[in-house]
Amino acid sequence: MARFLIRRLLGAVLTLFAVSVLSFLMFFALPKDPVSGMCPKNCNAERLERVRAELGLRDPLVVQYTNYMKGIFVGRDLGSAQGGRCDAPCLGYSYVNSEAVTDTLARVLPVTLSIVIPAAVLWLALGVGLGMISALRRGSVLDRLAIGFSLTGASLQLYFVGAVLLLVFCYKLRLVPIPSYTSIFDNPAKWASGLVLAWCALAFLFSAIYARLSRAQMLETLSEDFIRTARAKGLAKSTVYGRHALRAAITPVVTIAGLDVGGALGGTVITETTFGIQGLGRTAVDAVRSGDLPTIMATVLISAFFIVVANIVVDVLYAVIDPRVRLR
């Protein structure tokens, strides 16, 4: 098991490095020059060049990359205009936002986390629960409704659902305030009411997928012989289904859940755009649009980090759920 984990961690580190290299190469090709954007029309070329040199944009690519990576691990010195010494993890300074990237992240990351984590809890509980129940009561009205629900949800678009929810609950019925973010530590009620529409939109769509998936998995598991044996032994239904069947059926759900949550943490761009909330996704989009390289790199690395970590967590969970995996 330990050997397995070490191997996965190594692979993860390598992946992250590859991601950082690829992103660096990719965004270096952006024609948008961050410097020209930050200066009002009358900046002269000389000043721009000086700023560029200070930002290190004139250095060869490899040097820029090395400096950047060095900054992440041990910190580096930026020019005085950028705040001087930048301690590890140093993600650079954004001229567009006029702040250290780490500060930007500290601002927007909680927003995305606040959107994704409660939504994930909702969609997993609802989706897997619905899927299981509908598998157990196959063919009943509830089952058909559940199938209908999941097909509908899987075919809808997030922005469409978001728009409809906004229209109905926010504008027409005025049940919820216009979506915005307040920190949970400041005002939990406002935090929740500001995000509830986003949670519902995400939960609706994702739970449909999970309901479908877990239903199919559960049905397959229920037809296995060992379930028949367990029932024949006289075990209570809750034990058979809850302990035995669930455990066997849950593995693919765990994989997909890991990928989805990991990916979502990297920035739910559509959700944020639809509801007008400034989270990690919107920040990333804005950064790309304005050519803000340090912020772009930071958002890419963070989202890759989440995905990679999610994969490892999924693998560990696999090993916990499925003893056969441990023996490998």
Partner 1 sequence: MSLSPVEGVVLAETTPVGEDPTGSDREFVGRSPGQLAWARLKRDRTAMISGAVLVFLMIVAIAAPLIARLYGVGPNDQFQDRLDGNSMPLGYVGGITGDHWFGLEPRLGRDIFIRMVYGMRTSLFIAFAAALITSAIGVVLGILAGFLGGVVDAVIGWITDVALALPFLIFALAVVPTVALRFYGPRDEVPAAFQVAVLIGVFAAFGWTSTARLVRGQVISLREREFVEAARASGAGLGHMLFRQLLPNIWAPILVSFSLAVPSYVTGEAALSFLGIGILEPTADFGRMIFQSIPYLQTDPAYVFFPGITIFALVLAFNLFGDALRDALDPKSSR
- Cβ–Cβ under 8 Å, residues 179 and 277: yes
- Cβ–Cβ under 8 Å, residues 205 and 301: no
Q: Does 19 bind partner 1 (CB under 8 A)?
A: yes
Q: Does 31 bind partner 1 (CB under 8 A)?
A: yes
Burial label for 42, CB within 10 Å (0-12, 13-18, 19+), is exposed
- Residue closer to partner 1 by CB (options 76, 260) is 260
Q: Does 22 bind partner 1 (CB under 8 A)?
A: yes
Find the length of the chain: 328
Q: Which residues, in sequence order, are bridge partners of residue 154?
A: none
Considering the complex, what minimum distance in angstroms separates the CB of residue 328 from partner 1?
14
The DSSP annotation for 149-196 comes to HHHHHHHS-HHHHHHHHIIIIIIIS--SPPP----TTT-HHHHHHHHH
HSE-CB for 150 with a 13 A CA cutoff: 24
Q: Does 61 bind partner 1 (CB under 8 A)?
A: no
The H-assigned helical ranges of 266-292 are 269-275, 280-290
CA–CA gap between residue 260 and residue 264 (Å, rounded): 6
The residue type at 60: P
Q: How far is CA 80 from CA 2, 59, 72, 102, 247, in A?
A: 46, 18, 19, 17, 57
CA–CA gap between residue 194 and residue 178 (Å, rounded): 7
Q: Kindly state the helix (H) or strand (E) to which residue 245 belongs, with its residue range.
A: none
Choose, by CB under 8 A, the member of 112, 207, 214, 299 that binds partner 1: 299
Considering the complex, what minimum distance in angstroms separates the CB of residue 219 from partner 1?
3
- Residue closer to partner 1 by CB (options 106, 167) is 167
How many binding residues for partner 1 (CB under 8 A)? 52
- Cβ–Cβ under 8 Å, residues 305 and 16: yes
Q: Does 156 bind partner 1 (CB under 8 A)?
A: yes
Show the site string, 237-266: x = touches partner 1 by CB under 8 A, - = not.
Answer: ----------------------x---x--x
Q: Does 104 bind partner 1 (CB under 8 A)?
A: no
Q: Which of residues 159-188 bind partner 1 (CB under 8 A)?
A: 159-160, 163-164, 166-167, 171
Q: Does 201 bind partner 1 (CB under 8 A)?
A: no
Q: Does 151 bind partner 1 (CB under 8 A)?
A: yes
Considering the complex, what minimum distance in angstroms separates the CB of residue 156 from partner 1?
6
Considering the complex, what minimum distance in angstroms separates the CB of residue 290 from partner 1?
11
- Residue closer to partner 1 by CB (options 246, 304) is 304
Q: Does 327 bind partner 1 (CB under 8 A)?
A: no
Q: Does 195 bind partner 1 (CB under 8 A)?
A: no
Q: Does 288 bind partner 1 (CB under 8 A)?
A: yes
Binding stretches for partner 1 (CB under 8 A): 11, 14-16, 18-19, 22-23, 26-27, 29-31, 151-152, 154-160, 163-164, 166-167, 171, 216, 219-220, 223, 259, 263, 266-267, 269-270, 273-274, 281, 284-285, 288-289, 296, 299-300, 303-304, 307-308, 311
